[in-house]
Amino acid sequence: MTTPKAKIEYFKKILDKGLCSSLFKERPNDYNELMDLFTNHPEYPYKTRDVVDMNITRNTLNTKAFQFNLIRKDGTIEDISYRYCISYRYCKPRENHKFLDVMRNCIKPQIWGFRNLNEMKCELCNNKENIHIDHIYMFKNLVIDFLIINPDKPNVFNDSSDNTYVFRLEDVEYVNKWYEYHKLNPTLRSLCVKCNLSRKHC
């Protein structure tokens, strides 16, 4: 596991073993490896404070997928992203507004296409007002995953008319890679503002 991509694949296999009520009791080797991985979380050691066990449940936002949950000695449970722990050193672009702007602006036609082809109603509460297009697998994680396999990103961008930023014409090869990656990998859905902003980010 020498690369972030290899690590992601390795820990995804652990997650995809499926539902487990107690990794500490039933799969102690997996538990120990995961607890070691979670020391890379940006909120460590606070994130793993008083943890005595871990389980695997269906993902609360995508029931086709699984998630790891930390279980603390007081009985509280909190989910944690293994991808975030592996990819944390790639997160700086996520905090760079210019880079996020260009990545989002690049795939706007795909977002508009989704809006035109689907009913604009919140999938969680059926609200039809102030609908956002949401990535079930979060946009910031898509960007991080893309950067892992395409680390040589542009660092200079052009201003756009809406006070954001766009790629330069000379970066068309990188633009095309990202556009195709986003077309193949996201799962989009409609959410109202309240449901969208209530999502957890790590």
Peptide linkage before 45 cis (omega within 30 of 0): yes
Q: If you classify domain 4-86 with CATH, what class do you get? A: alpha beta
- Spell out the alpha helix ranges (H) of the chain: 4-15, 23-26, 28-37, 82-87, 92-95, 97-106, 108-117, 139-149, 172-184, 193-197
Per-residue pLDDT, averaged over 158-172, amounts to 85
**102 within 8 A of 166, measured Cβ to Cβ:** yes
pTM of the model: 0.58
pLDDT above 90 for 113: yes
The C-alpha atoms of residue 185 and residue 121 are separated, in whole angstroms, by 22
- Phi and psi dihedrals of 116, rounded to 5? -70, -25
pLDDT above 80 for 198: no
CATH 3.10.450.40 in the chain, residues? 4-86
Give the tokens for residue 66: 């699984």
The C-alpha atoms of residue 50 and residue 112 are separated, in whole angstroms, by 45
Residues 6+ apart with CB under 8 A from 74: 50
What is the residue-averaged pLDDT of the chain?
A: 87
As a whole-number percent, the residues of the chain with pLDDT over 70 amount to 91
* pLDDT value for 94: 43
The region that residue 163 occupies, defined by phi over 0 for left and psi between -120 and 50 for alpha, beta otherwise, is left
pLDDT band with cut points at 50, 70 and 90 for residue 88? low
Give the tokens for residue 114: 């989704």
